[in-house]
Structure 1
Amino acid sequence: MAFTSYHFILFCALLLSISSYCIGQNSPQTKALILAVKKDSTTLQYITQIGQRTPLVPIKLTIHLGGQTLWVDCENGYVSSTYQPALCGSTQCTIAKVNTCGNCSTSAPKIGCNDNACYNTPENPFIKTLYSGGQLNEDVLSIQSTDGSNPGKFVKIPNFIFTCAPTFWTEGLASEVKGTVGLGRNRIALPSQLAEIFSFPRKFAVCLSSSTQSSGVIFFGDGMMLPNIDISKDLIITPLITNPFGTGSVPSLNEPSSEYYIGVKSIRVNGKPVTINKKLLGVDKNGNGGTKISTGSPYSMLESSIYDVVTKAFIDELSNATRVAAVAPFETCFSSKSAGSTRVGPDVPTIDLVLQTTRVYWRIFGANSMVKVSQDVICLGFVNGGIKRTASIVIGGYQLEDNLLHFDLAKSTLGFSSSLLFHQTTCANFNFTTKA
């Protein structure tokens, strides 16, 4: 997978020992930072690349929107002269709200396994197990600055807090990926650390490209523009809901979740409400229910009863289209020849996630609801999630593509654009090759 905007950082790694030109120093002039993000065609994960360690090493990481930490495989080839473990009782451990503190389980301490160190639980959203032995550490991190429209210099963060994990914890990640970038609501996730270090507002924006050939972008701080157009003033705003129980996939920690929930009150198909058990739409005292936004799911997942009524309504509203056999993981598929096309994808019924009032809704058009599985077949890109789900609705990656999402952590709000295709632009239109 080519990350052409990061070829420069590879060159910088070679020059790091003799030149400070490549890595811009932290300064008051740094107003915003960016990550290029590309969709992996095999796993459908969203991949970025950062510079870490001394000397600088480019590392591919999967985006985990609700993740609590940036974690990397420290067992396989981690070498750095600036690595430091976070020791028990340190400020870093306090900030991270670590769940354990102790000594390395091996005979000889090493990177990622030190004595008198604190540990947390890094999350891999693509496997269904937990790992509580992730050691907290600090090291150099390099990330690119931006003026909002064009990329600028790379800036160096000397003491970025991250988590070490063993190689087996990368199971399920895309090829050559060494960990995940957590963008969750807690203090050691990437948005909060960058805000603290650079005195940014605690906000970030995500714009995922639907193309596997072109990169989307994540903005941190102020400024989030695609070339020649500013969508930020047209965003619809809704409150972020705090799930009071469980951090990501670790509910046993009994603390607020780092993941992002919004308050969906009802669902409409082609403008018509469908009947849903309203209890499923709220988050209960055990942290179950509600609507979560997640890049850990390639497609949106609906609790079974919600899935049944939404798909039935969709089929009824698209009665003139020809049904065809299901194509896993999708159950509702049609002949592509029987559906017309529009600026915002196939001409199919819209799906509205209705939020705080009936006039505030996230409209999902054909470009984000229908998946082309073959030349002749398109399928409704929602998956039956079963009856025992932590979140009743998970808005997955496919439904986020070519939508601009603005997370304001200080105000606890989400701003969203719906499909950028209406604005005749996409998330792939940010220019990563022009220097600011």
Structure 2
Amino acid sequence: MNIYGSVSQTVITTVGGKYKISFYASHLPGLTTSLLSQEGYIRLPGIQRVFKLFQRSARTQSQLDWYEHVYYFTATAALSDITIGSFGDKSGISLDDVRLYPLHSNSKQESSESLDPIHVHIRTDGKEFSLHASWTITDRESPIVDYMIAIGTVKGGTQLQEFRSVGRSSQVSVNDLSLTHGLPVYVTVVAKNAADLTAVFYSEPIMVDITPPDICCVGDGPNEDEDLTHQTSSVISVHWRVSDPESGIEYCEWAVGRAPSSSTLSPFTRTATLYSATVDLENLLHHAETVYCTVRCKNFVGLVSEIVSSGVTIVKEAPHSHDATLRVVISSPTVYDARENHQTEVNSISIAWDGFSDLSGISNFECNLVSDKGQTPERSRIVGNRGENTVVLKGLSLKSYKTYQVQLRAVNYGGFKSEPVISNVTIETCPPYLTGKFIDNGIL
């Protein structure tokens, strides 16, 4: 969503309830302003904050650098107004994936999703880090008049920021932090009430993570041990493996399209699990169409990895045989040419074919040999499964002066069979013989 000015929405909330709002913001696409940095603002119940967009490189003005922003608030009424906007009427911003969450005391995803006293988020663009912390601290006897916060690499430490006052604000943002991968970060809050009494609160450690999730082993199909190349069903499934030992996986999303990384058939939606997804695309898929599943997973510091399946081809029709040809390859045992479709060999038949077609691909061919009485002297043979278009049918016991019909069908990867193409062969094992007497000069 691209906005100039602001956008607002009124949501239903519970008085006293704690909420988290997250969204992605970026510069407008095609921005030509000479300013390399811009700001936006968010207005929540009792809170108004200014946020910065990423620095825009002049060489990549057409690219969007998305950055996640996270804020917390306590609802003061049954209806809460949320406003996000840009400053001025000439410098807009782009927004995406705006989400509102109630905070639950039993959540184990990370500290920011629970009702622990201090909620901490660390986000990175791959180079610099920003930290956002908020807290919920009350004193029923005396109001809180001041908060002091510090940031360190050990509990209660000040290695990253010395204690400083933020007044009565219940949240703080610190930008341009220099952190290293795997470093634990703690936030310490000292609350002072009107009676000049203080209490110290510590956050759970947040692990610094500069690596995106590790996604592997993607495969088309519902079963983990398979990767389908063809299928007849309109139900598209994909499975994968993902891990992020440093910060954990916040969510995965997936889409289905006619090209890698596209979502032309099914838009990106969050998956119910972190290892598989399924969607029914009935009436959207066509024969011989290859579809690709794209999976994206995001960790709790906002880094995203993407993986694309190798694609699965939809099979709904049988191969075509209207332009196909089949012939029996005859070899003469003498210096004379054999008559077409006649042979002396009784233990084998050599055949060649061409012209079968199927855009989804042909897996193999099914060959049947039928006698002149309509009997099939042997079971069907699978031929051509390595791409060849000739074969010698061996191990036969053909009868002399019998005519046999060779039937060939193409079979695609969905198991559909084409109409048969037919060629006849007659077996003759004996040489010609005389039935009368020789006539010389008309005298018998």
Structure holding more helix per residue: 1
TM-score scaled by structure 1?
A: 0.21
Larger RCO (CA within 8 A; separation ≥ 6): 1
Structure holding more strand per residue: 2
**Max Rg structure:** 2
